[in-house]
Amino acid sequence: MVEEGFERVCDVDDVPEHMPKRVVVGGRGVLLCRVDGEIRGVDEICPHKDRSMRFGVVFDGEIICPHHQYHFDLETGRCDRRKCPPVHVYEVRVVDGEVWVRP
């Protein structure tokens, strides 16, 4: 059972290995990414120039924005560029093969 406040968004098998799966949670685009067998969720929009990262690459615990290749840590949201703000990280639960996200 998932705590109150989470929305079911997809099955865990829908999330590919090295690219994000875009879902909509609470009206916002969220990118689900695989990290060491777990699923992480971050805001779709890159805080650098407000562009979508849906065609970014997921590698080594990070998502790499396709526009200027900034890296964002999928656990903390932190960017590898000092002046760039972090991306929002969502709470994610996986229960019985289903992915749930808190808006």
CB-nearer residue toward ligand FES: 6 or 70: 70
Least distance from C-beta 51 to ligand FES, angstroms?
Answer: 4
Site string for ligand FES, 69-88 (x = CB under 6 A): -x------------------
Distance CA 103, CA 55 (A): 22
Query: What is the DSSP track for 62-83?
Result: EEE-TTT--EEETTT--BSSTT
Q: Which stretch binds ligand FES (CB under 6 A): 6-14, 18-26, 28-36, 44-52?
A: 44-52
DSSP state at residue 21: E
